[in-house]
Structure 1
Amino acid sequence: MDSILYYLAPDEMDPFLLFWGKQALISAVIIGAFYLLSRLAQQLLTKVGTRLCSFTETDLDDRILERVSGPAMLLVNCAGLYLAIRRLPLHDRIGIIASGLLFVVNISILTIIAYRALDELLKAYGARVAGAEMSRQLMPLVEKLCTIFLVVTALIITLKHFNYDILSLVTALGVGSLAIGLAAKDTLANMISGFTLMIDRPFRIGDRITLGAQTGDVMDIGLRSTKIKGLDNTLLIIPNSELCNSNLINMAFPDVRGKGRVNVGIGYECDVARAKEIMVQTALDVAEVLKDPAPEAFFVNFGDSALNLSLFFWVPEYTQVFGAQDKINSVLLKRFQENGINIPYPTRTVIYEKDTNNAPQD
């Protein structure tokens, strides 16, 4: 500033000072106006915004309003200060540095506001839609990815403001991402499959699933693999990409009730109706078997040595199927014996024929 004043003629000093004072006054008015605007916006958010949020059933908008109101007021004040600094006839270097710093501050505040709003949205989605387990595993990673995206976006906007060539940066990021993707394609495939499993939710932690010949309870759903505890207390670790491309049975969906089946064969001379009645009554006498839906017995087919019957029953939880089936089989065998219903076993009759052609001649 001194260097500028030094080269001004004496008769030019007053107009310059007058111009500088006028710009300083305008800048002060801008700062004051934006300060009043921030106070007005604060009052509107406090009264009108809170009243509008009270009409909604969720408290999500209340939490977002509470977290962004403070940075929003600061943003308005910094925006006024930025405009005021740009109007002052400062030295080129001083003006560029001051306005640049204020621009960076404004972008940082905008990033904070976006992050806080997004954080509340992710928390609400994780708690109400995704579930507790998904919130624990997936939401932290999603939040980190969103944070990285916001920071990179703010950095690109800042570099663009200072006339830096961002094309080379974007190109370098693209090439680097391509190289990482090619080098870790299997890991990325499992991670993407992990996202799919967590969002689509074909099974949850604690569900019992059958995958091919393997049956077990889901212990953990990670980003790379899923851990399944087998019925023989072994731990099966399956890559998520394999789970996404395989057919599986979820025994705990749509509810935890389990359906059991008892197959038995009775003799052809036995009374089928009486046998079916005994089977249904036996199932009803077992405590674990549900009365609704009620057990049902069916005459399935004619076997080689028996009439094949099947009993279907339901239990409150699929883990009780084998125990209930054991009790039904034990009681059913006794009642069949008491009612004269026999359970035949396969028999074979072997007939030896004498070969008369090769018999010795007398």
Structure 2
Amino acid sequence: MDSLLYYLKPDEMDPFYLFWAKQALISVVIIAVFYLLSRLLQVLIAKIGTRLCAATETDLDDRILERVSGPAMLLVNCAGLYLAIKRLPLHDKVGIAASGLLFVVNITILTVIAYRVLDELLKAYGARVAGAEVSRQIMPLVEKLCTIFLVVTALIITLKHFNYDILSLVTALGVGSLAIGLAAKDTLANMVSGFTLMIDRPFRIGDRIQLGAQVGDVIDIGLRSTKIKALDNTYLIIPNSELCNSTLINMAFPDVRGKGRINVGIGYGCDVALAKELMVRSAIEIPEVLKEPAPEAFLVNFGDSALNLSLFFWVADYTHVFAASDKINSAILKSFHSNGITIPYPTRTVIHEKDTNNAPQD
């Protein structure tokens, strides 16, 4: 660089212009070097990065590489332009404005890169780990919160670069968050419970659950409440915080098979073995009843006026339990009648004794 200046005439070598020309030449070299680096990065991504991503089983890295390659090369060029302009002997205001503008551009590009990487990670988590319901309900909200976090972080870094006091901003954000949290305490509790329900997944949409005396099918799991359609075709809208703090029964878990039970009493003089055989045979003849596990009948206890038997059977879908129970009851009643098995009525014997001590004497 000094060799180029050697050929200038002595009267043309004004120190100021000589210094300015030297700095401009260095800035041009910096821009050229960073431009070559961006091209080198493009070649590395196209050849090496693509091959490495193709060797993995997942396509997550392929999508991330595709989305960040363009902004990454732009970031390298803008970084070189920022360094080149920052070292030029410009006027104070012009230099500060130019370098500040390029700094903001670089921070914006970095924020875009971070957002794209985070977006792909959230999509992959929602699709492969959390499930479709979480992707539909939670992921848009999580993506918005992450976007707000990235924007606020970029804003704080930018303000810090221009020597602005960010303590007041952080304090204002903290006070505002506290005020919002106190004002929407119940809503936030339901939202946190909604996150818990969707991630922990004690039940899913379509499952039949029992909550206390209420039984119904889950229609929708929202961030604030869960909608349940009861068996009488009414809708229950239950806050998520109440569901998280209650004990419930999921009839569709771990699978949709349902188990039914039928209780019947026979007379003490009846053949118990024959009665159990008839009950099992009646259940097997019903199409809805599964052959495996096979129906089973047991003598449960000795009642006051009858021997109490119970029949246990399985159906392929828990929604078929009631219909199968009706058919089995009808078949058992007919089979008992044909084979002389009686179903006694409850009986009670009352013995009335005459009180001879207080009887009137003749």
TM-score range, shorter chain: over 0.9
Equivalences for 1:289-304 in 2 at 5 Å?
289-304=289-304
Aligned-residue offset at 1:323: 0.5
CA distance in 1, matches of 2:115, 2:298: 62
Contact 2:261/2:311 (CA < 8 Å) preserved in 1?
A: yes
CA distance in 1, matches of 2:110, 2:231: 53
2:7 equivalent in structure 1:
none
1:216 equivalent in structure 2:
216
CA distance in 1, matches of 2:45, 2:357: 113
CA distance in 2, matches of 1:304, 1:46: 85
1:252 equivalent in structure 2:
252
Which segments of 5 or more consecutive residues in structure 2 lack a partner in the other structure? 1-10
Deviations 1:58-92 (A, max 9, x none): 11111111111111110000000000011101111
1:122 equivalent in structure 2:
122
Counterpart secondary structure, 1:80: helix
CA distance in 2, matches of 1:167, 1:54: 46
Deviations 1:227-265 (A, max 9, x none): 111101111111111100000001111111111001111
Counterpart secondary structure, 1:204: coil
1:243 equivalent in structure 2:
243
Aligned-residue offset at 1:293: 1.1
2:102 equivalent in structure 1:
102
CA distance in 2, matches of 1:157, 1:165: 11
2:3 equivalent in structure 1:
none
Asked if 1:308 corresponds to 2:289, the answer is no
CA distance in 2, matches of 1:253, 1:12: 90
Equivalences for 1:169-208 in 2 at 5 Å?
169-208=169-208
CA distance in 1, matches of 2:12, 2:193: 74
Counterpart secondary structure, 2:106: helix
Asked if 1:113 corresponds to 2:113, the answer is yes
- Amino acid corresponding to residue 202 of structure 1 in structure 2: P
CA distance in 2, matches of 1:341, 1:165: 91
2:47 equivalent in structure 1:
47
2:64 equivalent in structure 1:
64
- Amino acid corresponding to residue 216 of structure 2 in structure 1: G
Contact 2:133/2:198 (CA < 8 Å) preserved in 1?
A: no
Counterpart secondary structure, 2:14: helix
- Amino acid corresponding to residue 20 of structure 2 in structure 1: W
Contact 2:206/2:219 (CA < 8 Å) preserved in 1?
A: yes
Aligned-residue offset at 1:359: 2.7
Q: Which moved more, 1:130-139 or 1:160-169?
A: 130-139
CA distance in 1, matches of 2:129, 2:316: 26
2:336 equivalent in structure 1:
336
CA distance in 1, matches of 2:355, 2:13: 142
CA distance in 2, matches of 1:94, 1:338: 106
Deviations 1:325-354 (A, max 9, x none): 110000001001111111112101112222
CA distance in 2, matches of 1:12, 1:253: 90
CA distance in 2, matches of 1:63, 1:83: 31
Equivalences for 1:278-297 in 2 at 5 Å?
278-297=278-297
CA distance in 2, matches of 1:337, 1:113: 79
CA distance in 2, matches of 1:225, 1:232: 20
Aligned-residue offset at 1:183: 1.2
CA distance in 2, matches of 1:134, 1:285: 43
Deviations 1:297-334 (A, max 9, x none): 11111111111111111111110000001100000010
Counterpart secondary structure, 2:238: strand
Residue identity over aligned pairs, in percent, reads 85
Counterpart secondary structure, 1:82: helix
CA distance in 2, matches of 1:238, 1:83: 59
Counterpart secondary structure, 1:121: helix
CA distance in 2, matches of 1:134, 1:274: 53
CA distance in 1, matches of 2:294, 2:159: 71
CA distance in 2, matches of 1:164, 1:230: 58
Poorly superposed stretches of 4+, deviation over 3 Å: none
Aligned-residue offset at 1:267: 1.1
Which segments of 5 or more consecutive residues in structure 1 lack a partner in the other structure? 1-10
Cα gap change, 1:12 to 1:356, in 2 (>3 Å) = farther
CA distance in 1, matches of 2:195, 2:222: 9
Aligned-residue offset at 1:12: 10
RMSD of Structure 2 on Structure 1 (CA) = 1.3
- Amino acid corresponding to residue 22 of structure 1 in structure 2: K
Aligned-residue offset at 1:36: 0.6
Aligned-residue offset at 1:206: 0.8
Counterpart secondary structure, 1:308: strand
Equivalences for 1:17-56 in 2 at 5 Å?
17-56=17-56
2:131 equivalent in structure 1:
131
2:164 equivalent in structure 1:
164
Aligned-residue offset at 1:357: 2.9
Aligned-residue offset at 1:355: 2.4
Deviations 1:92-112 (A, max 9, x none): 111111010000000000010
1:83 equivalent in structure 2:
83
Deviations 1:152-179 (A, max 9, x none): 0110111111111111111111111111
CA distance in 2, matches of 1:223, 1:333: 50
Aligned-residue offset at 1:361: 2.8
CA distance in 1, matches of 2:150, 2:203: 32
CA distance in 2, matches of 1:345, 1:51: 81
CA distance in 2, matches of 1:257, 1:31: 69
TM-score of the pair, normalised by structure 1:
0.95
